[in-house]
Amino acid sequence: MTTKHKVAAVQMTSTDDVEKNLTVALQLANDAISDGAQLVVLPECFAYLGPEDGKFKIAESLPEGGPILARCQKLAVERKAELVLGGFYEKTPDPRRVRNACVHIAADGSVRAVYRKIHLFDVDLPDGTVLKESTGVEPGTELVVTDTVFGKLGLSVCYDLRFPELYRKLVDQGAIALAIPSAFTLTTGKDHWHVLLRARAIESQCYVIAAAQTGRHFGTRVSYGHALICDPWGTVLAECGEGEGYALASIDHAVLTRIRTSLPSLKHRRL
- 83, 72 contact by CB (below 8 A): yes
Phi, psi of 227 (to 5 degrees): -55, 140
Residue 128 pLDDT grade (very low, low, confident, very high; cuts 50, 70, 90):
low
- Determine the residue type at 163: F
Average pLDDT score over residue span 207-222: 94
- 229, 247 contact by CB (below 8 A): yes
pLDDT at residue 195, as a whole number: 98
- 248, 35 contact by CB (below 8 A): yes
Domain that holds residue 227: 4-268
* pLDDT at residue 205 tops 70: yes
Q: What is the DSSP letter of 45?
A: T
Query: Is 117 among the catalytic positions?
Result: yes
Query: Is 158 among the catalytic positions?
Result: yes
- pLDDT tens for residues 143-157? 999 999 999 999 999
- 161, 199 contact by CB (below 8 A): no
Average pLDDT score over residue span 57-76: 97
Query: Is 52 among the catalytic positions?
Result: no
* Complete DSSP assignment for 65-95: --HHHHHHHHHHHHHT-EEEEEEEEEE-SST
Residue 235 pLDDT grade (very low, low, confident, very high; cuts 50, 70, 90):
very high
HSE of 130 in the Cβ direction (CA atoms, 13 Å)? 2
Contacts of 180 (CB under 8 A, 6+ apart): 156, 157, 158, 160, 161, 197, 200, 208, 209, 210, 211
Which CATH number fits the domain that encloses residue 147?
3.60.110.10
> For the whole model, what pTM was predicted?
0.96
- At 222, which helix (H) or strand (E)? strand 221-224
User: Which of 158, 206, 230, 240 is the catalytic position?
Assistant: 158
SS3 category, 112? strand
Q: Which residue has the higher pLDDT, 122 or 22?
A: 22
User: Which of 6, 82, 90, 117 is the catalytic position?
Assistant: 117
Assign residue 188 a region (left: φ > 0; alpha: ψ between -120 and 50; beta: otherwise): alpha
Number of structural domains in the chain: 1
User: Which of 44, 90, 239, 244 is the catalytic position?
Assistant: 44
pLDDT at residue 182, as a whole number: 98
Residue 1 pLDDT grade (very low, low, confident, very high; cuts 50, 70, 90):
low
